[in-house]
Amino acid sequence: MEINIIGAGLYGCLSAFKIKKKFPNYVVNLIDSSDHVISAFDPIKMGKSLYNNGFHGIELPRSKNLSDFFESFLNVDLIEKKNIKKLLIDGELVDYTSPLSEYPQSIKNYYKKIPTRSFEKFEEFYDCISDEFKNILKKISTRYSNNIYDVQHLILPWFFPVEYDIISNDEGDKFRTKVRSGQIIPTYKWPKGMLLSKIQEPFHESLKSLGINIYLNSKVYFEDFGAIVSNSNFVGKSTKTFSKDDIVISCITPIGLLKKISLNTYNDLTKCSKVLINAVIKVKSKSSLAFTEILCADTEFYELSRISKPLIQEDIKDIGEKKEYFQLEIITENNWNKDYFLKKINDFFSKTTKIKGYELEEVIEIKETRKVFFPSKTSLELAHNHIEIWSKKFPNYKILKAFGPINMSKTWLYSEEVVDFIDKI
C-alpha cells in the first residue's frame, strides 16, 4: 500500500512517522513545497540573534506525548521551565490563575458579578461585566477583526478571573480550565536555547532512516479528479497524479483546495488578512518579574497581543541592574508604519510603564514576520461546507479541515486519527 502525505509540517511528519512505524511494509511518501521539514519552526533573525517567530513552547502536561517523542525518538534534549502566565488588563498586571478577590480594585469593578457556573455561550460573559470593560474588549478585538463576535474565542475567557469559564469539549479549553482551577501545574519545554528549529534536522533524519520517501520543493494542485504533485525528483517523471483511488493524507491548510472549488469563498475568507509584527527590546530593571508570557488587553497599545522572554539575558552586577530581552507580538493592518509602533513601544515603557519596574533601553529590531488571517464565522462555515462536500467524493482522502495554524498538542491528536484512518482502509 502506498500512502501519500501532503505537508511536511509537524502534523505531516508525525503522521508519516507513525504510519511507517505501525505499517513498515507500506510505501510512505511525504511531500512538501518547502526545501526542509517543519518550516513553521523556522526562526527569525532579530538584530544579531535568532528567535522563534512568536511565543512557542511544548506545553506540559498537555503535550507530554509529543515531548516524550522528541526526547525518546529524536534524541532532542529539552529543558523544562515553569509556565508563569500573566494578564495585562488596561494597565494592571494580574496572575492568569487569580480569582477576582486578588484583582486590583481599579479593574475589579469591571466584573459586576461572579458566575455560579460555567457558561455555555460567549454571550453570557457580557451579562457579568461593566460597559467600560465591554468597550475595552471591543477595542482590543479590532487587532483581529472589526466584528468582535467573530473573534471572541480569542478574548473570552482569557481576560477574566478564574471564576469565569466556558463549557467546551475542546482539549485545549479543558486543559486551560484545569490549569486555572489548580488541578494541574503547567510547565513548558524547549530545546536548549528555546529555538524549535533544532527539532527540524533530527526529525528529517529520523524519517529518512525509517525509509520514508521525502519529496521537498513540490507543488500541489487540487483538481476535480484528485490532485497533481510536481517534483523533478520523481522517478522517471516530473509529476504524480492522484485519483480518488489513491490514498492521500493532506496535512496542509485546505486553502488551496478551496480556491479551486469556490473562488468566491476563497476571496471572502482571505480578505481578512493582518500581519504579525515581532519586536525585540532590551530592558533594564532592579528586580526581575517572573513570567513566561503576558497576554495583553491594553487600550493604549491595543495592537500588542503578547510579551514573552526569550532565553537571553545579561546580569549587570556593578550597577545592581539586570538587563533582559522582551519579545513583543503585535497584530495589525498590512499597511503598518514602523515609526508609529516605535513610538507606541517607547510610550508603553515610559515613566508610566504598564510593566512596572522595567525601563526600555533599546529596541533591537521590529519587523513583519508573517501574515495572519481572522475570517468571519459566516465565511468560515461556508468554506468548511465546500471542503466537506468535496471530501465526500474521495473516501481514501483525509483532508485537514482547519484553515488556521494548529497547535502542537492537536498535531499529535490529529496524527493519531490519521493512523486510525489508514488502519481502516
Q: Say whether pLDDT at 42 is over 80.
A: yes
Domain end among 141, 159, 185: 185
For 7-46, strand residue ranges (E) read 27-31, 44-46
Q: In this predicted structure, what is the pLDDT of residue 315?
A: 45
**158-202 tens-digit pLDDT:** 999 999 999 999 999 999 999 999 999 999 999 998 999 999 999
Q: Average pLDDT for residues 143-153, to the nearest whole number?
A: 94
In angstroms, rounded to a whole number, what is the distance separating the alpha carbons of residues 133 and 110? Answer: 5
The percentage of the chain sitting over the pLDDT mark of 70, rounded to a whole number, equals: 96
pLDDT at 318 over 60: no
198 and 151 assigned to the same domain: no
Q: Is there a contact between 246 and 396 (Cβ–Cβ < 8 Å)?
A: yes
Mean pLDDT of the chain: 93
Q: Which residues contact 203 (CB under 8 A, 6 or more apart)?
A: 13, 37, 38, 74
Residue-wise pLDDT for 97-138, tens only, equals 999 999 999 999 999 999 999 999 999 999 999 999 999 999
What's the domain count of the chain? 3
When pLDDT is cut at 50, 70 and 90, the band that residue 266 belongs to is: very high
Q: Please, are residues 9 and 252 in contact by the beta-carbon 8 Å criterion?
A: yes
Does residue 303 lie in a domain region? yes
Q: Is residue 387 part of a domain?
A: no
Tell whether 380 is covered by a domain. no
Element (H, E) at 123: helix 123-126
Contact 38, 202 (CB under 8 A): no
Instruction: Let me know whether 204 and 152 are in one domain.
Output: no
Q: Which of 160, 185, 210 corresponds to the end of one domain? A: 185
- Is there a single domain that holds both residue 248 and residue 321? no
127 is a domain residue:
yes
181 with 89, same domain: the answer is yes
Using the 8-state DSSP alphabet, how is residue 318 labeled?
G
Residue 204 pLDDT: 98
User: Is the pLDDT score of 146 beyond 80?
Assistant: yes
6 and 190 in contact (C-beta within 8 Å)?
Answer: no
What is the per-residue pLDDT for 353? Answer: 63
Residues 294 and 367 in one domain: yes
Residue whose entry in the numeric block shows the C-alpha cell 519545554: 189
- Give the CATH number for residue 225: 3.50.50.60
Dihedral (Cα; 347, 156, 57, 74), 10-degree rounding: -160
pLDDT surpassing 90 at residue 267? yes
Residue 391 maps to a domain: no
Q: Which of 8-17, 96-105, 308-317 has the lowest mean pLDDT?
A: 308-317
Residue 410 has pLDDT above 50, yes or no: yes
Residue 173 sits in the same domain as residue 230: no
Q: Is residue 69 part of a domain?
A: no
What does the pLDDT look like over 232-257, one tens digit per residue? 877 778 899 999 999 999 999 999 99
Domain span holding position 223: 2-51+194-253+404-424
| CA 2 to chain CA mean position, Å | 31
Same structural domain for residues 283 and 355?
yes
Question: So what's the pLDDT on residue 355?
Answer: 75
Q: Kindly report, residue by residue over 337-367, the tens digit of the pLDDT.
A: 999 999 999 999 886 566 777 889 999 999 9
The band of 288, judged by pLDDT with boundaries at 50, 70 and 90, is confident
In this structure, the strands spanning 85-89 and 293-297 are: parallel
- Domain ends where: 185, 211, 241? 185
Strand partners, 397: 248
Q: Please give the pLDDT value at position 339.
A: 97
Question: What are the two backbone dihedrals, phi and then psi, of residue 285, each rounded to the nearest 5 degrees?
Answer: -155, 155
